[in-house]
Each structure stands twice: as C-alpha cells, then as structure tokens.
A and B are shown apart, each in its own frame.
Chain A
C-alpha cells in the first residue's frame, strides 16, 4: 500500500526532471558530472582549486533556499541528533568517497551514461539501504 498522494508523486516526478536537467546542463555546458559527493568532496579537500564546484554548491543552496522562501518551509521533518545520525553521517561520507559516488553521481549521472560501475554501485547501495530499513526500522 502506498502512503503518497498523486500530487506528491507528481511533484517527485517534476523534481526528478529538474534534477536530470541540472545534470544534463552541466555535462552539455562544461563536460562535468553532477555528482554531489565528488563536487563537494573535491571542493573541500582542495578549496583553492574548487573553482566551478563552489558555484555549483552556491546554486544548490540557492535552489533549496528559493523553495524555502516561496513555500515558507522545506516541508521536511528533519532528524533528531543522536548516535545513529552521527554514525550514518560517517558511513555516508566514507562510503561515497571509497565508492566514488552517491545517488546523484552513480544513480542519476552514471546510469545516465550507462556506466556498469555506476549501475552496480546503485544496485548495491539501494539493496543495502532497503535491508537496513527492514532490519533497523525507520
């Protein structure tokens, strides 16, 4: 049984089209892959050579800020700070660097260019995340 309304699913689809367009624009314009963990990770690791990455990050923050200002909130129930959240943050950080990508880099862009590495990575992190929720709960 689904708990999402038709409107929520449509908004999801529209948001997906925007995300895909963002990735397409970056590849067509500059030849870069819109993978968040790669862009931000590299910007932070060598800040002075970050260049375009800082602009992308500024844009990302402006994008969600525009929604925040128009809508009045992010429409999100943000997590409480506990040990699980700290562990999750470290796992996401180490995992996306070791595995060279996250949901955007492997999922949206990598599958977009039909990379077998990205297809495998996406399948693995999806399945592991599903098992994690099934075992730990949400």
Chain B
C-alpha cells in the first residue's frame, strides 16, 4: 500500500515544483498566439522521458512487483464519448487553466475557489457515472 502513497507524494511534489498548480502558468502555455510560456511542454516532456521507455520495460514483465496482474484500460476504440469528452475537458481546461491533478493538489492552500472547483468536479464525475451506467445505456 505504501507504493500508492509514495506515488501520490511524488506526483503532488512534481506538480508543485513544476508550478503547474498555478493556473496562470498553464493558461500562458495554452496562449500560443500571445506571450507564450513553454514550461508545460517541458513538464510533459520530462514526464514522458520517464514513462515512454519506463512503461515499455515494465510492461514486458508478466506482472507488477507487488500485485497479481496489471490493471490497464481495455478500450482501444476511438469512439464518440472519447472525442466529446476530450472536447469538453479542453474547453474547461482552457477556461480555468485547471485540470484534475493540480486542482486537487492545490486544495492544501484551502483557497475557497479551489475548494468549490473540486466540489463541482467531484459532483460532475458522480453525475456522469450515474448517467453512463443508467439502465437504458447500451453498454
């Protein structure tokens, strides 16, 4: 169980060190037609530098170190929910400069706006889950 905690710890520390908890820095990255701040590209680049070769090596194993099997997403199809979801998420991300990780990690500031943002995000997840698992849903 310590693995999940340490992983979360590194993740939170990484978000804070990279200053991606600051929505202004994220919006400045997205503002490619204005005064562009390339930092987020280096954050993503740093992360992918570890995950692209690292995941390839790890996934050659038959199982993880401390668990019976890998729990990977099973879907491979590029379907409508994926695209519509990504469009809606992109809209929200561009409006506020906040995505789920930084919003949660910024809760430690006890900032009122962040608390409200996270609360609405949690309710939206719950409602969307209920909608997707409604009896009339085809899948």
Could you list which residues of chain A lie within 8 angstroms of chain B, going by C-beta atoms? 1-4, 8-9, 11-34, 36-37, 40-41, 44-45, 52-53, 55-68, 71, 74-81, 84-100, 102-104, 106-117, 120-122, 124-134, 136, 138
Contacts and interface: CB of A to CB of B under 8 A. Distances in A.
Contact of A99 (B66, B76, B84, B109): B84
B94 A128 contact: yes
Contacts of B33: 134
A132 B90 contact: yes
Contacts of A60: 8-9, 11-12, 101, 104-105
Given A79-B96, A98-B82, 16 more contacts: A9-B38, A15-B19, A15-B43, A16-B43, A26-B4, A31-B63, A31-B69, A59-B4, A63-B14, A63-B105, A92-B98, A97-B132, A98-B88, A108-B48, A112-B52, A138-B30
Interface of B: 1-25, 27-28, 30-40, 42-52, 54-56, 58-59, 63-67, 69-73, 75-78, 81-101, 103-109, 111-114, 116-129, 132
B64 A30 contact: yes
